[in-house]
Amino acid sequence: MDKYEKEVLDLLKKELKKEVSLSRPPDSAMGDYAFPCFVLAKDMKKAPNVIAEELAGKLKVSGNIERIESKGPYLNFFMKKGSVASDALKKIFKDGAEFGRVSGKKKVVIEYPGPNTNKPLHLGHVRNMALGYSMSRILSAAGNNVITVNINNDRGIHICKSMLAYKKWGKNDSPEKSKMKSDFFVGKYYVKFAEELKKNPDLENEALEMLEKWEQGDKEVVALWKKMNKWAFDGFKKTYKTFDVKFEKEYFESETYKKGKDIVMDGLKKGIFEKDEDGAVVADLEKEGFGKKVLLRANGTTVYVTQDLFLAKQKFDDFKYDKSIYVVATEQNYHFKVLFTLLKKLNFPFADKCHHFAYGMVNLTTGKMKSREGTVVDADNLVDEMVAIAKEETKKRHKDISEKELDKRAKQIAMAAIRFYLLKSDSIKDILFDPKESISFEGETGPYVQYVHARCCSVLKKAKLEVDAKVDFELLKEKQEQELVSMLNEFPSVVANSAKNYKPSLITRYLLDLCQSFNNFYHCFPVIQDDKKLEKARLLLVDCVRSVVENGLDLLGIEAPRTM
RNA sequence: GGACCUGUAGCCUAGCCUGGAUAAGGCGACAGCCUUCUAUCCAUUUUUGGAAGAGAGCUGUAGACCGGGGGUUCGAAUCCCCUCAGGUCCGCCA
């Protein structure tokens, strides 16, 4: 709540002797705040529009309130434009990159993207990375100490499948020899396995045998595993660099998959879990609606959820977090519900600090992505393709641009297009990845927002005047200007809301609205002009828009270009 | 069989948590604006047609009884119940 809202509320409270809440009128021309009078109708035994009218007459304007009007059952408050603009723009100008950020000490651990080492990162991981990256920035802006961790699923039957295929058909080939990015090289054999499996179903058993050998520490199998995992990791590293993803700590399933047993045994002792007739340890989650869940197999080995129990505790021991966020697809909703329920049953103090940040699947226009069938868009290929298109578009507009500058701009634009596209809709929803639409540089896209930033920079550069906050704020009296000011003012609460609800899409949405509003203003009124006083005021406004756009894009992991 | 999620103009989405005024944006369609270039002209002006877009611009119009039904409420896209459709999951795989 800002001080203006408080001022209005105080005035109402004084008159009504009770707490009420305000809303926003649908159109800024109808006022800055509105008080719907329905809530008073019963007590006062009067029609809401009568109450509104009476209040409008009774309430005395003061302070920053300019006037009060009744409109039907609503009481609308208009604030003094000059003081709102003065407060907002001065603060934005002064705070710069800090505007919208608050300080705090809470520790948040965020885990993503959790790759499997049997294939390269694909479009699904790209959404994961875009969300994880942006979410960590948003949380950090909202005053959290954010720690990024990654869990590598580097062992298991799926890993053995690509290993087996390489062993059988790889003929000692290597990424270097075949001039392939190393994780793509590994992925090739995962696809190969699936193809061969159709002809020879027995391969499934061979892979299982290999897994057993791996678990027994068979030298040859472990050596192959190390070799192929290194290829996978080397490839991932390059992709992470493209997406600017870094981790404070990495966990490896190969090192933790046997752990968690103690936790389960302890739970068994305390009677939280039970043994079934086959000797497996199970948790009865019928009451919660999750059925019976095996935690230790009859042979005493752990399962997926057991390992995650251990990792949750490990992460807490490592970081003593206030919040632990898992960025994992919605497919695993059930798994995380079970995991968190188990943590609660085990009375871990961090049980209710865990949050599954779920995101929907990315489907292709051609159907569902299946890495086994090779119908995926790989992260690296996607980036390459987008960069190529951005290059072409940029070339069209700048005939004599240097190759180096072109590369830089194209990459900036391509990454913005990808990130923005994946962040703009609610993360819970499945999205359809339409390559054609995603590469469009018109409409609700990252490049559109970037363009506004470039445009602001261009105006500021062309103007001969120095930008400062010593301007006559009363001059910003056009509707478009006031709307911009009030939108800029909202940025901090948008950031807070976005962090609280884990919704990066609120930032994208806000930026689109702001940019549209700015383009409208820019189109209607000249900034650079003979009236230097007005020019100065507008320049400050432009600079504040630029600043907020930059801050907003930063939260999405998108660079704000000075030129495009 | 059970659990969870999603259904909003032709298409893609926002709003749902925290109920409030006319359901907001984008794509596509249609109609315009602005700038430049070009064609028509001896020249100017006007008109018209074409092309490109200010560093990737703007405005307007048409298009939705918010999947359907019921309930709560002064008031429901929003909350509750039922129902239909789509998706995902429910393994001693990870």
* Chain B, protein-covered positions (CB within 7 A): 2-6, 12-15, 17-18, 20-22, 25-28, 53-59, 74-75, 87-94
> In the 8-state DSSP scheme, what is residue A275?
E
- Share the mean pLDDT of chain A: 90
Closest CA to A422 of A150, A180, A206, A113: A113
How many helices (DSSP H) and strands (DSSP E) are in chain A?
21, 13
For chain A, first and last CA: distance in Å? 37
Q: How far is the CA of A87 from the C1' of B55 (A)?
A: 32
Question: Left (φ > 0), alpha (ψ -120 to 50) or beta: where does A307 sit?
Answer: alpha
Bridge partners of A283? A293
> In the 8-state DSSP scheme, what is residue A290?
S
pLDDT for A524-551, tens place per residue?
Answer: 888 888 788 888 999 999 999 999 999 9
User: Can you give the pLDDT at residue A403?
Assistant: 81
Q: A172: buried, middle or exposed (CB in 10 Å: 19+, 13-18, 0-12)? A: exposed
Q: How far is the CA of A290 from the C1' of B68 (A)?
A: 30
User: Can you give the pLDDT at residue A88?
Assistant: 92
Neighbours of A95 (CB within 10 A): 14
Provide the 3-class DSSP secondary structure of residue A502: coil
pLDDT for A330-376, tens place per residue?
Answer: 999 999 999 999 999 999 999 999 999 999 998 876 555 555 555 56
Which domains, from first to last, does chain A contain? 3-79 (3.30.1360.70), 261-301 (no CATH), 379-556 (1.10.730.10)
Report the distance separating Cα A140 and Cα A499, nearest Å: 9
Has residue A391 got a pLDDT over 70?
yes
For residue A448, give the nucleotide whose C1' atom is nearest its CA.
B56
Q: How far is the CA of A451 from the C1' of B58 (A)?
A: 15
pLDDT for A214-267, tens place per residue?
Answer: 999 999 999 999 999 999 999 999 999 999 999 999 999 999 998 889 999 999
* Structure tokens that stand for A423 in this block: 């962040």
Which residue gives the smallest C-alpha to C1' distance to B74?
A: A38
Neighbours of A540 (CB within 10 A): 23
Q: How far is the CA of A564 from the C1' of B60 (A)?
A: 29
Q: Are strands A74-79 and A65-71 parallel, antiparallel or unpaired?
A: antiparallel
- Is the pTM value of this prediction over 0.80? yes
